[in-house]
A and B are shown apart, each in its own frame.
Chain A
Amino acid sequence: MSAITDAAPVPRAGGGIAGSVRDSLVVAKRNLIRMTRIPEIVLFGLIQPIMFVVLFTYVFGGSISVGGSTDPKLYKEFLMAGIFAQTVTFATAGAGAGIADDMHKGLIDRFRSLPMARGAVLTGRTLADLVQTTLTLVVLAGVALLVGWRAHENIGKVLCGFLLLLLLGYAFSWIGALIGLSVRTPEAATSGGLIWLFPLTFISNAFVPVNGMPSFLQHIAEWNPFSATVAGARQLFGNTMPNVPKSVTGAWPMEHPVLASILWSVLIIAVFRTLAVRKYRSAAV
């Protein structure tokens, strides 16, 4: 008689890697549906990097010396990998704010009371962010082409360059997940997810060549994981400048940027995923 208690299917045992993947995809789908319902988030996520492309290209373009030349065309080539990389790291703020919001609204409690894989709520969120980052990057690459940026390698290498960037973005969204679980409000997660990104992305080879920096900053910049990805993408796009040395300080990541970038990203994922999942299990606001 009662639809409440009748005939509900008994849940089968989940678990294992398959269960974990499945639960993560369910959560990812949920987050992607949310994105279509709040398109302004995706839209605002696009405006800033587009602004950066335009501003850096036209405002700084004629003034910044790349390999001894201030030719704006050279700067465009140099700049885009940097802006792309900065853009993917902004996924941090999105993941953080989203997870903090879920905590705040009590949804994390709902998820934690369900017999689902432990890391799935966070993995689902980071996967959804990866999809958003991919979209952003596609649009951004289009804008970059419009303002005159060109890649000089074959399509396979160029795609690998974008994969390298996406891997970094995915890694950073795990940092965001940890921030989101650690702060008290979504607002704090947004600012907490962004503030440290400015020094991180500016003390790097992304916007200016490292050789103009003071010596101690040169060391920091060249060991910065972010610089490795920028250099790696530049190499795969064929945007390296003949007159800009690979490395000023001789740092290993600058000599092998693609490999270094992959290693850095994997390391970040391993560390921050572990910390975030542990935090999730004990999460309580």
Chain B
Amino acid sequence: MPGAIYAEGLVKTFGDVTALDGVDLDVPEGTVLGLLGPNGAGKTTAVRVLTTLLQPDRGKAAVAGIDVLKHPNEVRRSIGLSGQFAAVDEYLTGRENLQMVGRLYQMNAKAAKVRAGELLDRFNLADAADRIAKTYSGGMRRRLDLAAALVVSPPVMFMDEPTTGLDPRNRQQLWEVIQELVAGGTTLLLTTQYLEEADRLAHDIAVVDHGKVIARGSSDQLKARTGGERVEVVVHQGDQIAPAREVLAGFGKGEVAIDEHTRRLTVPVTGGAKLLAEVIRELDTRGVEIDDIGLRRPTLDDVFISLTGHAAETATEGSDEDAAVAAATPKGHKETRK
């Protein structure tokens, strides 16, 4: 029994650029799949195919058990789409935007009005409800866009980089909303280039690069692939590296890596926090003065590097959208709208 979102062998090329190169996905009902990858990896193209916006060259896809290629309009009744570029009409008020979307989901005028009011309250937009969306901040627009995707409480949601370009506070707020949504039983496919976001929101993660799913599993499973946890120590003075190394070698499960310049020593371990306490006591006994010590678990960044051989090209805060466009356009990808 395929899941709420199912794809098999999706292929899509634009000219000589292969955006999707045989993508398989299977998202069980009520779970969140994080589609993680750098710009141009094919994430947006996959979402566009699954939301009926784009015809794949090859492959099969089904959403909520309905064939995407054969019955696109049936699929549209069951999905909500929230895009990377907040797609609201900036000359309509927040309320007018939501009412219009409700009407186009075939609700009657009264129901659309009631629902718009509920969503505006829920997304803290009630005060701004009758202002045109052009006057909204980036975070408010994104919330309005998400509200528009939730007008009919679709069983399956697609969010294409929902927090790209948002400041940390707005990102946090949006994450809370998404978690509430998932707790309510919605199946969600989320694309992101923020590893932290996938880690926090997704049950399962599919790492995408060059139009292919190169790894999948839970966040923990993926991290396990890159090795377990490590103890990291920064000593106060260069001459303390040697004794610190002896201590770490005693506790470690592998070679001690040393960076002379930053006086940082790293060693793989098992045993967690308890072990860390022992390491600290032993270093103290030996009189090694430490600037910093910690138990480091691999991040999804580490996962990405070990899988692809390069870091995820996460754009820096504030310039995400520009960076996304700049990165995608020269390659001729249709990943981002210009």
Contacts and interface: CB of A to CB of B under 8 A. Distances in A.
B206 interface: no
A2 B184 contact: yes
A77 interface: no
Contacts of A3: 118-119, 121-122
A5 B80 CA distance: 12
Contacts of A111: 104
Nearest to A107: B87
Given A6-B153, A26-B103, A110 B83 contact: yes
Contacts of B121: 3
Contacts of B90: 105
A10 interface: yes
Contact of B151 (A8, A19, A112): A8
B185 interface: yes
A107 B87 CA distance: 5
A112 B81 CA distance: 10
B104 A184 contact: no
A88 to B, nearest CB: 24
B88 to A, nearest CB: 8
Contacts of B103: 23, 26
A12 B90 CA distance: 28
A33 B55 CA distance: 33
A113 B177 CA distance: 22
B115 A8 contact: yes
B6 to A, nearest CB: 18
Contact of B337 (A2, A5, A104): A104
A252 to B, nearest CB: 43
A110 B181 CA distance: 20
B92 A33 contact: yes
A13 B106 CA distance: 7
A143 B49 CA distance: 52
B238 to A, nearest CB: 55
Contacts of A2: 180-181, 183-184
Interface string A25-40: 0110110011001100
Interface of A: 2-6, 8-15, 19, 23, 26-27, 29-30, 33-34, 37-38, 104-107, 109-116, 120, 184-185, 282, 284-285
13 contacts: A2-B180, A3-B118, A8-B151, A10-B152, A14-B106, A15-B73, A30-B89, A37-B91, A109-B53, A110-B148, A113-B76, A114-B105, A115-B106
6 closest pairs, A vs B, by CB? A5-B184, A8-B153, A106-B87, A115-B76, A3-B122, A14-B106
Given A26-B103, A33-B92, A33-B96, 7 more contacts: A3-B118, A6-B153, A9-B107, A23-B104, A105-B87, A110-B87, A113-B51
Interface of B: 48, 51-55, 73-74, 76-77, 79, 81, 83-92, 96, 100-101, 103-107, 111, 115, 118-119, 121-122, 132, 148, 150-153, 177, 180-181, 183-186, 334, 337-338
